[in-house]
Structure 1
């Protein structure tokens, strides 16, 4: 697959398939051999591999794979709520609904398609959804894999209702790591955060970087558009770039909580870290006809940390 970017046909790098449970999936590939796999029913990215076939997203050993149920791992779309805040199911219904492939999607920014393989998905409310969340919307999701192996998720939510509505949003992202004790996050120092383990009390981050030695569940507020997750043992750095998403959720259940989760292995907490680009502290409000756009780009650098990759510019719009 030695195509140049100028002649590379992104459609030739897309494979439609099914897993053993009959769940429809799409696999994106780039000419270098990197890949991303998306469950179409749930709009969930379940795999992101580099050109050496190394998996960069975590999936629990006890993950449950069945139709219309997001499995524990990968990248899950959480909306119109995050957590347990109203009558909707935990983290909203978007993750457990049937998304359709858009053959003729609305145009995105030109940079969203140039030199990338991508898939466009569409979610509209079903009648049962309107009973619990009575708002008309169109939710478009583009997942793209670039020539350099970067993975981008871009969401567009339009209000087609006659009244305003508000929603929360998060890309619930399970990163695969070597050992949670050997990982740190840079870019969130000095920020205020809400601690979900202390009734959402507000604190200020005091450390030079975030390190891990116990359960953590925090919402960092007014965060920069670029942060880094440094994995020393694996000599890999993940860079998370985002736009339209002011918050960053950091979560690891540690040992005690892991034992209470049926779809999570007791030792799995050592190999994962959730770093979510999100808008959850304050809901997004759309007037009739308005559209919101939010996106996240994941970059994996096979070396020690380099500040050049913290360039915050991500052309999302």
Structure 2
């Protein structure tokens, strides 16, 4: 099934059937970049540049079979990150069916050349049995004329009982990389982090950049608004910009853990890295009627090394 929602100067939004008949929304920009987002989970599963190169990692064993989550892309972790408490791992938003929003937020004046879709998920009776709070989650997935991908979330407390609720959240972004052992992450040096491999003990990052040679599962705290992932082999840098999300989660399961994950290929860990804009350490609290807004913007720009340093030309010009 195909449902063309809008077209303008070679920009388009369409709803088509994806894997196993699950519906997905496809965004196209005129120069060739594209994004795919499944209504199941409000889950971005593909982000391609103007050359058709895939920028997100998807597991070779990803299951598109509800109620299992989809492994890879950008899962939405809500209303909790991790598995603290009685909820499903990373909450339930990523294993629910979302809808196209017929009452979307207003379009910012500077977004006139962007192509986007607005999705919405409202708490159900099933949700209320495990997390007794009424809410409305609006998600805008937006593709810019330069190929940048932006996710904007709005969570509103819609309860009528007068009670506030608190949640943690993350954009669980899986980046596609050439070789994890050759990747550097800049912007998190000297920061404190919680190490999930050591019972969430708090440490301070010592290196001048993050590099990878074993399993990593860390939550960096009070992070800057911009983080860079340098892929020397592909001469590409991912730039993450974020608002309303103070933490950054960095995760790679490495070889032993990868083999223990049913929907993850044994060698997949070599070609992925999760760097996630998140609010984990301090839960976000909303009173009835209050709304929280968070945003993550992803850019992929050409880069190279010079004495171990990034040539900052294109990154700084797009800052």
The TM-score normalised by the length of structure 1 is 0.93
Residue 69 of structure 1 and its aligned partner are, at CA, apart by 3.3
Deviations along 1:14-70, one digit per CA (max 9) or x if unpaired, are 111012411000100101000000001210000000010100000011111124432
**Equivalence map 1:57-68=2 (5 Å):** 57-68=56-67
1:26 aligns with 2:31: no
Residue 306 of structure 1 and its aligned partner are, at CA, apart by 4.1
The TM-score normalised by the length of structure 2 is 0.92
What residue is the counterpart of 1:220 in the other structure?
220
Q: Report the Cα distance in structure 1 between the residues aligned to 2:9 and 2:229, rounded to whole angstroms.
A: 30
1:190 aligns with 2:204: no
For 1:130, what is the secondary structure of its paired residue? helix
1:134 aligns with 2:139: no
**Equivalence map 1:1-317=2 (5 Å):** 9=8, 13-111=12-110, 113-161=111-159, 162-304=162-304, 305-307=310-312
For 1:131, what is the secondary structure of its paired residue? helix
> What are the ranges of 5 or more consecutive residues in structure 2 without an aligned counterpart?
1-6, 305-309
Is the contact made by 1:174 and 1:273 (CA closer than 8 Å) also made in structure 2? yes
Is the contact made by 1:78 and 1:170 (CA closer than 8 Å) also made in structure 2? yes
Structure 1 residues 20 and 72: alpha-carbon distance in aligned structure 2, compared to 1, 3 A threshold: closer
Q: Report the Cα distance in structure 2 between the residues aligned to 1:173 and 1:267, rounded to whole angstroms.
A: 19
- What is the count of residue pairs matched by the alignment? 306
Residue 313 of structure 1 and its aligned partner are, at CA, apart by 9.7
What residue is the counterpart of 1:4 in the other structure?
none
Deviations along 1:223-265, one digit per CA (max 9) or x if unpaired, are 0000100000111000000000000000000001011000001
Deviations along 1:184-207, one digit per CA (max 9) or x if unpaired, are 000000000000000000000000
Is the contact made by 2:11 and 2:30 (CA closer than 8 Å) also made in structure 1? no
Cα-Cα RMSD:
1.7
Residue 311 of structure 1 and its aligned partner are, at CA, apart by 5.9
Deviations along 1:170-220, one digit per CA (max 9) or x if unpaired, are 000000000001100000000000000000000000000000000000000
Is the contact made by 1:10 and 1:118 (CA closer than 8 Å) also made in structure 2? no
> What are the ranges of 5 or more consecutive residues in structure 1 without an aligned counterpart?
1-7
Structure 1 residues 202 and 312: alpha-carbon distance in aligned structure 2, compared to 1, 3 A threshold: farther
Residue 11 of structure 1 and its aligned partner are, at CA, apart by 9.4
Structure 1 residues 173 and 160: alpha-carbon distance in aligned structure 2, compared to 1, 3 A threshold: same
Residue 302 of structure 1 and its aligned partner are, at CA, apart by 2.4
